[in-house]
């Protein structure tokens, strides 16, 4: 959606390694914002984005208007069922319908062989994988690692909203994830105890308002009841700092 940072550029780098031609779309998609969310305020800097993309060696940049994507009379949406009901879907019930619709439109326009998404939006990536599989879209989805600041905060266009103190406070997200990873490696605690330890870290700062912490099976993206040795899991967090809502996660092997 633009306001590009190193996380986006890492996807471009991966694309250039895998593909002959790299196309980047920039589109702030109104269909994935609820009325009370930050569509109008969402950060935009197209000129800076274009400069970064040129320097990164992108072959084509596609920046459609809202009218091109959703012309008058538009009435078709793409929706994935089960996987969208939980986690982000519970807090943002219309969000993923907007995401799958715009992604399917962009796939139909560009007709890529590969598409690259960031792990930071792990649920989104899982939903897009499901959509591609179910609708026989014939492209391969790559999920690329989270890119972080030096102090651990996951790169996000919304980080610009944080006050200096909230920016410091937000480090509890990556700290709590590292804590969980360490506990799982030691194999000393169950899921509930691990989540409680993470909550202690998150609530150690005054500005945090936790939406959820969940541990989910990587393949089915369902909430884990227990951890099975050798299997991979995402630990997901969504938390507000002031009015800014951030998500983060880590992929671990039990």
Q: Enumerate the active-site residues.
A: 8
C-alpha–C-alpha distance, residues 132 and 109, integer Å: 15
For helices 95-110 and 122-134, the axis angle rounded to 10 degrees is 60
Q: Residue written as tokens 């939980």?
A: 86
Q: What's the start-to-end Cα distance of the chain, in Å?
A: 34
Radius of gyration (Cα) for the chain, nearest Å? 18
DSSP 180-192: HHHHHHHT-S-HH
Reading the block at residue 115, the tokens are 């598409």
Long-range contacts from 175-183, C-beta under 8 angstroms, 24+ separation: 175/201, 176/201, 176/202, 176/213, 176/237, 177/235, 177/237, 177/248, 177/249, 177/250, 178/152, 178/250, 180/235, 180/250, 180/252, 181/235, 181/250, 181/252
Burial class of residue 105 (count of CB atoms within 10 Å of its CB; 0-12, 13-18, 19+): buried
CA distance to 51, 146, 184, 210, per residue, from 91 (Å): 35, 22, 27, 12
For residues 224 and 216, the answer to whether their CB atoms sit within 8 Å is yes
């Amino acid at each position: 959606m633009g306001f590009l940072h190193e996380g986006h550029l890492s996807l471009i780098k991966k694309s250039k390694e895998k593909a002959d031609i790299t196309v980047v779309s920039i589109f702030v998609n109104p269909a994935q914002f609820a009325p009370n969310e930050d569509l109008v305020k969402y950060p935009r800097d197209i000129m800076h984005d274009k400069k970064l993309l040129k320097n990164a060696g992108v072959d084509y940049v596609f920046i459609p208007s809202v009218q091109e994507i959703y012309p008058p009379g538009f009435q078709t949406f793409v929706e994935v069922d089960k996987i969208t009901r939980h986690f982000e879907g519970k807090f943002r019930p219309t969000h993923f319908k907007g995401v799958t619709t715009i992604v399917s439109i962009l796939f139909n326009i560009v007709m890529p062989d590969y598409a690259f998404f960031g792990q930071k939006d792990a649920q989104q990536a899982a939903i897009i994988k499901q959509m591609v599989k179910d609708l026989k879209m014939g492209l391969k989805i790559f999920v690329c690692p989270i890119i972080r600041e030096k102090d651990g905060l996951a790169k996000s266009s919304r980080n610009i909203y944080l006050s200096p103190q909230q920016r410091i406070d937000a480090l509890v997200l990556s700290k709590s994830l590292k804590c969980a990873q360490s506990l799982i490696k030691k194999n000393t605690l169950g899921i509930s105890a691990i989540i409680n330890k993470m909550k202690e870290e998150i609530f150690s700062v005054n500005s945090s308002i936790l939406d959820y912490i969940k541990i989910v099976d990587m393949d089915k993206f369902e909430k884990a009841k227990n951890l099975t040795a050798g299997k991979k899991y995402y630990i997901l967090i969504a938390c507000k700092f002031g009015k800014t809502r951030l998500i983060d996660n880590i992929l671990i092997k039990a």
